Structure 1
Amino acid sequence: MEVSPSSSSSGVPLILILCLSSFFLPPVICRGGESLPLFRSGSLNGSYSVNTRRILKDDVEAKDTLAKGYMTNSDLEHAVKAFGRRCGNISRIYSIGKSFNGVPLWVIEISDNPGKEEAKPAFKFVGNVHGDEPVGRELLIILANWICDNYVRDPLAKFIVENVHLHILPTMNPDGFSLRKRGNANNIDLNRDFPDQFFSVNNVISARQPETRAIMKWLKEVRFTASASLHGGALVANYPWDGTEDKRKHYYACPDDETFRFLASTYSHFHYNMSSSKEFPEGITNGASWYPIYGGMQDYNYIHAGCLELTLEISDDKWPAASELPTLWEYNKMSMLHLAASVAKRGIHGRIYSSNNGGPLPGAISINGINYTVEAGKAFADYHRLLAPDNKYEVLAFMHGYKPKNTTVFLEGGAMSLDFVLDPETGSLRETKVKGWCDCNCNAGIQGVELTGFAWWTQSQLYFLVVVVTIFILIFLGRRFSFLKYRQLGSPKRTMVMA
């Protein structure tokens, strides 16, 4: 229902003064790890043997030998920039910050419109979180180049380029890689350096590592739907929660547990042998059930960024020989591609509009029975809600100043498009008009809100201004007006001489 603006009751002079005045306004433990009761060994076939093999924890010289054939940080930077030159039509190269020692953290974005905000989901891969787990950084460069070489003829690669903004950070910890150690140059485990939901650790921003701060800033700048970080030392897809409130080891489910299990299974089942693991049923595990950690990156993504992140252990051996990298790529290729595509191939996607003017509303989406809210984008009011398939969901769209709307859908194997048109609440039309304009043009700032509100008032009162000005003219020129009226409508035209 539209609400008509009320006219002023303060009198003609006040209206005139207000309207005319407008002209003067100014415009530790690792996954697969060391320090666990049991340690894993084995080859690419996924078999495990229980022993106490440590993966050359303190033997830097031995790791240097194993690192032969891996890209150095300089090699990696050259590879990223070379990719940008070769595949510039579908990519953008940018940095999210620098490591403790000043090494740029380069990102490859792959899309048919790289760097442009669109109403489509974003996915990110992060590699080399731990310096001594380098397989991910190698596979991510291979992934980027494979998409570039095949997106014209491969349907899955083409789907990703056209429907997803894919961001690839090959190394989060270049310093740790150079030093052949787990932590960064400041000897901090970056996967324990994020704010934690259960315990007050790492809550001082200045105390966090530059790599951690770079990720946190990145999450504010890009609205990721889902993501995955690549680790080594085991073969399993790990999902939240990573920690428990009582610090005990047991299954601790997050609100989207079913969806996370589906995403983890997507990676595991497309992998060559991850799903056949004897240690982890179906090749997936709840993090807290494996062993609790605190200050982890995947829980932070989910809680603070609306991003569903997995922690992927993609190599039983942390430092496999470089000659094994092509095989590891083949084992993980389809898993990586299908996981990235899942942000557009699965779940519910749509936009939220206002019934008042048809404009986008940056509202939010919630699912009945799942205590988790997904916010729509500010520019296009698009939302992307990942959900496990083959289920019935009650979907609610809402925004302050508007009446919420809900509907029930049955989500089958693919994605569903679902738009919402919300009606303004009674008496809130003026507020939501101004708020909607501000949310869609956030660079305008507070002044934009004030000027927009005043412009709306001026437009609604323009008619009254014209009437007021006309009345003043009539009063000032009243007699002349009467004389002219008499001559035009009175006796026939004749010549008169006034004495």
Structure 2
Amino acid sequence: MDHAFSFLFLSLYFSSLLHPTVARGGEQRSKPSDYIDKVYSGSVRQLFEENQSETRLDIARGYMTNSDLEKAVKAFGRRCSNISRIYSIGKSVKGVPLWVMEISDRPGEEEAEPAFKFIGNVHGDEPVGRELLLLLANWLCDNYMRDPLATLIIENVHLHILPSMNPDGFSLRRRGNANNIDLNRDFPDQFFPLNDDVGMRQPETRAIMRWLKEIRFTASASLHGGALVANYPWDGTLDKRKDYYACPDDETFRFMASVYSRSHNNMSLSKEFPGGITNGAFWYPIYGGMQDWNYIHGGCFELTLEISDNKWPNANELPTLWEFNKMSMLNLVASLVKTGVHGKIFSSDCGRPLPASIAIKGINYTVEAGSAFADYHRLLAPGEKYEVMATLPGYKSKTTCISLEEKAMTLDFVLDPEVRPKGNLLQSVCDCSCDGKSKHELVEFFGRTYLEIFLVLIVILAFLCFLLKRRVLFNHLKHRQSVGPKRSGVV
């Protein structure tokens, strides 16, 4: 009887130390003082079964410290200086720099290429991402000009990697930052007036928001832990109910999430999440999340990737987690140039690039072309027909229908200026302004006949100039460098 009572007491004691893991930003249910004892769940799947019963006092053993991470980032920058640039987007609450590795064949230069960003360690107690992102950067460096996928990414994408958004939370072994704020609840929300006070946002959050103003990212992904699934918008609902709530680009996001899931070793085999993907609101709603904010305010298609069932696995599992996620990360970045519609927008009267907007019929979301090269990169799910329209105030809109297959498509637009009112021919040709008095003096000087001849000559010269620039424009389009077996078109 005594033995039975002792067994029951020990069972209840050890069961009290275990709690289910909540991923993607569930509420922290333990106090910081007893967090280390409760970080592992008794219900989650493990990569190494023999470690489940092991008592782990130092959960960070084998992981890079913040100092180690900074040294590793700078060492990468020195070793791979030909394809990388190291910069900081700000500092944490405790003053730790938020280091970024940019990887490209022309780092730091603005090009007509899509940009992708990876963000790791959003939650301090989910450190797998920071380790895997360093491995990803070094793999790309080691395999440039050796592996076709590495070469494709480096030569056609500007990849930006932020290994740790929350270095303070990592050092404290807790979810929130140094102010104990969940950074994935600290962004402005589309449904509720959360975080509208700029001064109340955390420095890490403000750094991300400034980053998106400086760089026009096409897509993004943040790496989390506690589950195994690719999560996509929307993350919340208007009535706070758990329900599937699709964003305008739901099909595109499902495709992107499936690219990651299908490339993973076992994510797509999930019994909890069909296909290894989920709509965030259907899983459980959150508000103030980074994912929705990126899509709404940054023009950036972001996924939330849960890459490890265990939030803080033993460090000896990291090589396995890297192998499981490597192709998923690579294929997701490569999808920016392997699929979708890409192109530039020009003016027909002078051939200059136009920062126009690209809209898709039936999808309430527009993509802006860049101001420098007027390049746009519109992610779309393949295997569908789309009606693509380019618009810019002062120019006639143009629309064309495309059938998007598995490969990317290049589609350039040449927009015509809106016709100016009659009687303003001289002004439209030479773009000068003359008041009434100067016009009268001009007529007096030349006489009516000479003025007509002068106008005809101006029109002829303008027409010849138009033909010359048109020829230059189409020669430029003809010799554009294409990526892979793309289809091309000009509208």
Q: TM-score, normalised by structure 2?
A: 0.78
Tell me how far 1:467 sits from its aligned partner.
7.0
The CA deviation string for residues 278-329 of structure 1, in whole angstroms up to 9 with x for no partner, is 1100000000000000000000000001100000000001111111101100
Residue pair 1:33, 1:233 contacting (<8 A) in 2 also: no
The aligned residue for residue 457 of structure 1 is: 432
Tell me how far 1:468 sits from its aligned partner.
10
Aligned pairs, number: 407
Tell me how far 1:44 sits from its aligned partner.
2.8
The aligned residue for residue 113 of structure 2 is: 120
SS of the residue corresponding to residue 457 of structure 1 reads coil
Q: What amino acid sits opposite 1:396 in the alignment?
A: M
The aligned residue for residue 274 of structure 2 is: 281
Is 1:326 aligned to residue 319 of structure 2?
yes
The aligned residue for residue 190 of structure 1 is: 183
SS of the residue corresponding to residue 128 of structure 1 reads coil
SS of the residue corresponding to residue 371 of structure 2 reads coil
Tell me how far 1:152 sits from its aligned partner.
1.4
Q: What amino acid sits opposite 1:457 in the alignment?
A: C
Tell me how far 1:344 sits from its aligned partner.
1.1
Tell me how far 1:40 sits from its aligned partner.
4.4
The aligned residue for residue 108 of structure 1 is: 101
Residue pair 1:95, 1:106 contacting (<8 A) in 2 also: yes
Residues 199-218 of structure 1 mapped to structure 2, 5 A cutoff: 199-218=192-211
The aligned residue for residue 24 of structure 2 is: 31
Q: What amino acid sits opposite 2:46 in the alignment?
A: S
Q: What amino acid sits opposite 1:256 in the alignment?
A: D
2:47 to 44, 49, 52: 44
Residue pair 2:246, 2:279 contacting (<8 A) in 1 also: yes
Residue pair 2:344, 2:412 contacting (<8 A) in 1 also: yes
Cα separation, partners in 2 of 1:145 and 1:465, compared to 1, 3 Å: farther
The aligned residue for residue 346 of structure 1 is: 339
Tell me how far 1:31 sits from its aligned partner.
2.3
Tell me how far 1:203 sits from its aligned partner.
0.3
Equivalent-residue separation in structure 2 for 1:428 and 1:157 (angstroms):
54
2:139 to 143, 146, 150: 146
Equivalent-residue separation in structure 2 for 1:103 and 1:466 (angstroms):
70
The aligned residue for residue 417 of structure 1 is: 410
Tell me how far 1:457 sits from its aligned partner.
2.7
The aligned residue for residue 449 of structure 2 is: none
SS of the residue corresponding to residue 217 of structure 2 reads coil
Equivalent-residue separation in structure 2 for 1:347 and 1:375 (angstroms):
15
SS of the residue corresponding to residue 106 of structure 1 reads strand
Equivalent-residue separation in structure 1 for 2:201 and 2:187 (angstroms):
8
Equivalent-residue separation in structure 2 for 1:155 and 1:392 (angstroms):
29
Q: What amino acid sits opposite 1:232 in the alignment?
A: G
Q: What amino acid sits opposite 2:384 in the alignment?
A: N
1:181 to 170, 174, 177: 174
Tell me how far 1:43 sits from its aligned partner.
1.5
SS of the residue corresponding to residue 399 of structure 2 reads strand
SS of the residue corresponding to residue 432 of structure 2 reads helix
Cα separation, partners in 2 of 1:101 and 1:32, compared to 1, 3 Å: closer
SS of the residue corresponding to residue 24 of structure 2 reads coil
Cα separation, partners in 2 of 1:40 and 1:117, compared to 1, 3 Å: farther
Equivalent-residue separation in structure 2 for 1:245 and 1:32 (angstroms):
19
Q: What amino acid sits opposite 1:43 in the alignment?
A: Q
Residue pair 1:64, 1:180 contacting (<8 A) in 2 also: no
The aligned residue for residue 432 of structure 1 is: none
Equivalent-residue separation in structure 1 for 2:211 and 2:106 (angstroms):
19
Residue pair 2:140, 2:150 contacting (<8 A) in 1 also: yes
Is 1:266 aligned to residue 269 of structure 2?
no
Cα separation, partners in 2 of 1:356 and 1:184, compared to 1, 3 Å: same
Tell me how far 1:185 sits from its aligned partner.
0.1
The aligned residue for residue 449 of structure 1 is: none
Tell me how far 1:366 sits from its aligned partner.
0.5
2:293 to 278, 287, 300: 300
Equivalent-residue separation in structure 2 for 1:170 and 1:118 (angstroms):
24
Equivalent-residue separation in structure 2 for 1:428 and 1:31 (angstroms):
57
The aligned residue for residue 363 of structure 2 is: 370
Equivalent-residue separation in structure 1 for 2:236 and 2:182 (angstroms):
16
Equivalent-residue separation in structure 1 for 2:362 and 2:336 (angstroms):
21
Equivalent-residue separation in structure 1 for 2:60 and 2:99 (angstroms):
21
Q: What amino acid sits opposite 1:351 in the alignment?
A: K
Residue pair 1:40, 1:234 contacting (<8 A) in 2 also: no
Cα separation, partners in 2 of 1:202 and 1:338, compared to 1, 3 Å: same
The aligned residue for residue 223 of structure 1 is: 216
1:87 to 38, 55, 80: 80
Is 1:67 aligned to residue 67 of structure 2?
no
Tell me how far 1:34 sits from its aligned partner.
5.8
Residue pair 1:160, 1:341 contacting (<8 A) in 2 also: yes
The aligned residue for residue 402 of structure 1 is: 395
Tell me how far 1:35 sits from its aligned partner.
6.9
The aligned residue for residue 284 of structure 2 is: 291
Residue pair 1:244, 1:252 contacting (<8 A) in 2 also: yes
SS of the residue corresponding to residue 247 of structure 1 reads coil
Residue pair 1:32, 1:39 contacting (<8 A) in 2 also: no
Q: Provide the alpha-carbon RMSD of the alignment.
A: 2.9
Tell me how far 1:136 sits from its aligned partner.
0.0
5+ long unaligned stretches in structure 2: 1-20, 30-40, 423-427, 447-491
Tell me how far 1:30 sits from its aligned partner.
3.7
Q: TM-score, normalised by structure 1?
A: 0.77
Is 1:168 aligned to residue 157 of structure 2?
no
Is 1:388 aligned to residue 381 of structure 2?
yes
The CA deviation string for residues 27-84 of structure 1, in whole angstroms up to 9 with x for no partner, is x964285679x98411238x9xxxxx9x99xxxxx87612101000000000000000
Cα separation, partners in 2 of 1:459 and 1:179, compared to 1, 3 Å: farther
Cα separation, partners in 2 of 1:428 and 1:458, compared to 1, 3 Å: closer
SS of the residue corresponding to residue 424 of structure 1 reads coil
Equivalent-residue separation in structure 2 for 1:33 and 1:352 (angstroms):
44
Q: What amino acid sits opposite 2:235 in the alignment?
A: D
Runs of 4+ in 1 over 6 A off after TM superposition: 458-461, 463-471
SS of the residue corresponding to residue 134 of structure 2 reads helix
5+ long unaligned stretches in structure 1: 1-27, 48-52, 57-61, 430-452, 472-499
SS of the residue corresponding to residue 377 of structure 2 reads strand
Residue pair 2:388, 2:400 contacting (<8 A) in 1 also: yes
Tell me how far 1:460 sits from its aligned partner.
12
Residue pair 2:294, 2:300 contacting (<8 A) in 1 also: yes
Cα separation, partners in 2 of 1:86 and 1:406, compared to 1, 3 Å: same
The CA deviation string for residues 61-112 of structure 1, in whole angstroms up to 9 with x for no partner, is x876121010000000000000000000000000000001100000000000
Equivalent-residue separation in structure 2 for 1:171 and 1:316 (angstroms):
19
Cα separation, partners in 2 of 1:63 and 1:351, compared to 1, 3 Å: farther
